[in-house]
């Protein structure tokens, strides 16, 4: 199966073929006298041009000049054009001298003088070649950047949808409805409150895909509703503590991320303990970072590390939203407490 010629070589061969055709046209259209060895010189010129410009391209790629700053690119273009224009002219004049294609010039001008004279025109020609080459790659980079931006937005949306699906999970809804049903006769008022709490959670889950960030206070209220529903199921086996710096309440956080971590703590921590345990939520500033911590009684399980959607979701979302400025850590404290810590940069416009 034959390989396709790359776009670069199509442009090279097409461009230099056009160069030959244009000079041939002018030679026949406006010449005043016949020029000996015109076609030999023209062909040698085109061959040298293909070889030299290809070597120049290898140098550009080798030194990664395409990805340098604009100032470095300008300097590099001028330097590399001057260098290869000199090589180009030296090669072409050497070939003409070797085959004695330009005897009148050889008698009139010394070898180095002819190289310098040829370099002037060659420099301008190669400069145009470089400008076309760099412009092409600039356009390609812009298109790739737009594609990456669209792909990133798509990944964020896909991740948010997965997060939403994980939160509207049948087991949680089933358990919540069973708990509410048990309260209908013995505590109708608490049952009504529980229905409101479940409604708040479902509404927030549905709205999560519409926003990229949400105030921490809103996310904390959702978690309080969630833990209130779980308390119906666990009763005294579930203890909850909050250590919240009020100045962090206005800080933007990824929607449903806190609830994901708390759900993870309930599923892999409290539900595994016969006597239950403690869920503690901490929010505070540490330097230029907002630290969000969820602690729970228990130990880190293999399933939690390898399969826990809460961990994967949190890591992916932080990476997409903040890059290297944020990180997630899961560790054990004193062999009996699991701590999930999220560190995000402080949004100054929200800071108190």
On whether both 251 and 305 belong to a single domain, the answer is yes
Q: Which of 122, 149, 176 is the last residue of a domain?
A: 149
Cα separation values, 45 from 52, 77, 130, Å: 10, 22, 18
On whether both 124 and 179 belong to a single domain, the answer is no
Cα separation values, 43 from 17, 31, 32, 86, 100, Å: 10, 18, 21, 19, 15
pLDDT tens per residue, range 213-240: 889 998 998 889 888 888 888 888 999 9
Percentage of the chain lying above the pLDDT 70 cut: 86
Check whether 164 has a pLDDT greater than 60.
no
Return the pLDDT at 172: 66
On whether both 22 and 130 belong to a single domain, the answer is yes
pLDDT band at 18 (very low <50, low <70, confident <90, very high): very high
Pair 79, 43: CB distance under 8 Å = no
3-state secondary structure of 337: strand
**Domain region containing 29:** 7-149
On whether both 131 and 179 belong to a single domain, the answer is no
On whether both 274 and 331 belong to a single domain, the answer is yes
Return the pLDDT at 352: 39
On whether both 218 and 321 belong to a single domain, the answer is yes
On whether both 32 and 128 belong to a single domain, the answer is yes
On whether both 237 and 286 belong to a single domain, the answer is yes
Return the pLDDT at 71: 85
Return the pLDDT at 97: 82
Whether 162 is covered by a domain: the verdict is: no
Highest mean predicted confidence (pLDDT) among 93-97, 148-152, 209-213 = 93-97
pLDDT tens per residue, range 282-324: 999 998 899 999 999 988 876 555 555 567 777 877 887 888 8
Measure the CA–CA gap between 331 and 305, rounded to whole angstroms: 10
Check whether 173 has a pLDDT greater than 60.
yes
Mean pLDDT of 236-245: 93
The residue that leads in pLDDT, 238 or 37, is 238
On whether both 132 and 225 belong to a single domain, the answer is no
On whether both 34 and 119 belong to a single domain, the answer is yes
Whether 263 is covered by a domain: the verdict is: yes
Measure the CA–CA gap between 163 and 161, rounded to whole angstroms: 5
The residue that leads in pLDDT, 188 or 87, is 87
On whether both 181 and 325 belong to a single domain, the answer is yes
Check whether 15 has a pLDDT greater than 80.
yes
Whether 247 is covered by a domain: the verdict is: yes
Measure the CA–CA gap between 198 and 181, rounded to whole angstroms: 13
pLDDT tens per residue, range 258-280: 988 898 888 888 888 888 899 99
On whether both 142 and 172 belong to a single domain, the answer is no
Return the pLDDT at 123: 93
Q: CATH number for the domain including 186? A: 3.30.565.10
pLDDT tens per residue, range 88-142: 999 988 888 888 776 565 557 778 888 888 888 899 989 999 999 988 888 888 8
Looking from the CA of 65 toward its CB, the CA atoms found within 13 Å total: 24
pLDDT tens per residue, range 322-338: 888 899 999 998 888 99
Return the pLDDT at 32: 74
Check whether 249 has a pLDDT greater than 80.
yes
Question: pTM here?
Answer: 0.52
Residues 6+ apart with CB under 8 A from 198: 173, 176, 177, 180, 225, 229
Check whether 75 has a pLDDT greater than 60.
yes
DSSP one-letter code for 73 = H
Of residues 35, 82, 41, 34, the one with CA closest to residue 59: 82
Return the pLDDT at 47: 92
Whether 157 is covered by a domain: the verdict is: no
Return the pLDDT at 320: 77
Domain count, the chain: 2
Check whether 170 has a pLDDT greater than 70.
no
Average pLDDT, the chain: 83
The residue that leads in pLDDT, 160 or 149, is 149
Return the pLDDT at 171: 60
Mean pLDDT of 168-182: 71
Longest Cα–Cα distance of the chain, Å, equals 116
């Amino acid at each position: 199966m034959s390989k396709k010629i790359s776009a670069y070589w199509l442009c090279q061969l097409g461009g230099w073929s056009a160069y030959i055709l244009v000079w041939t046209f002018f030679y026949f259209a406006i010449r005043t006298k016949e020029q000996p060895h015109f076609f030999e010189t023209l062909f040698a010129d085109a061959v040298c041009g293909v070889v030299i410009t290809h070597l120049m391209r290898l140098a550009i790629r080798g030194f990664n000049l395409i990805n340098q700053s604009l100032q470095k690119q300008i300097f590099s273009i001028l330097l590399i054009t001057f260098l290869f224009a000199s090589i180009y002219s030296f090669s072409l004049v050497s070939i003409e001298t070797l085959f004695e294609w330009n005897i009148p010039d050889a008698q009139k001008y010394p070898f180095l003088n002819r190289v310098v004279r040829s370099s002037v025109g060659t420099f301008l020609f190669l400069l145009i070649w470089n400008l076309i080459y760099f412009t092409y790659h600039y356009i390609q980079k812009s298109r790739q950047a737009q594609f990456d931006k669209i792909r990133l937005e798509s990944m964020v949306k896909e991740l948010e949808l997965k997060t939403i699906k994980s939160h509207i999970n049948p087991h949680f809804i089933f358990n919540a409805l069973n708990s509410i049903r048990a309260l209908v006769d013995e505590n109708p008022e608490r049952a009504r409150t529980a229905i409101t709490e479940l409604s708040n959670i479902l509404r927030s889950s549905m709205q999560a895909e519409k926003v990229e960030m949400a105030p921490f206070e809103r996310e904390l209220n959702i978690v309080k509703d969630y833990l209130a529903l779980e308390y119906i199921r666990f009763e005294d086996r579930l203890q909850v503590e909050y250590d919240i710096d009020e100045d962090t309440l206005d800080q933007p956080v990824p929607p449903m991320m806190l609830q994901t971590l708390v759900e993870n703590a309930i599923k892999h921590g409290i539900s595994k303990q016969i006597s239950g345990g403690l869920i503690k939520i901490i929010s505070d500033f540490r330097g230029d970072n907002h630290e969000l911590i969820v602690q729970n009684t228990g130990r880190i399980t293999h399933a939690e590390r390898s399969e826990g959607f809460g961990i994967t979701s949190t890591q992916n979302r932080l990476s997409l939203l903040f890059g290297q400025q944020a990180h997630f850590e899961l560790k054990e404290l004193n062999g009996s407490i699991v701590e999930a810590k999220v560190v995000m940069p402080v949004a100054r416009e929200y800071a108190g």
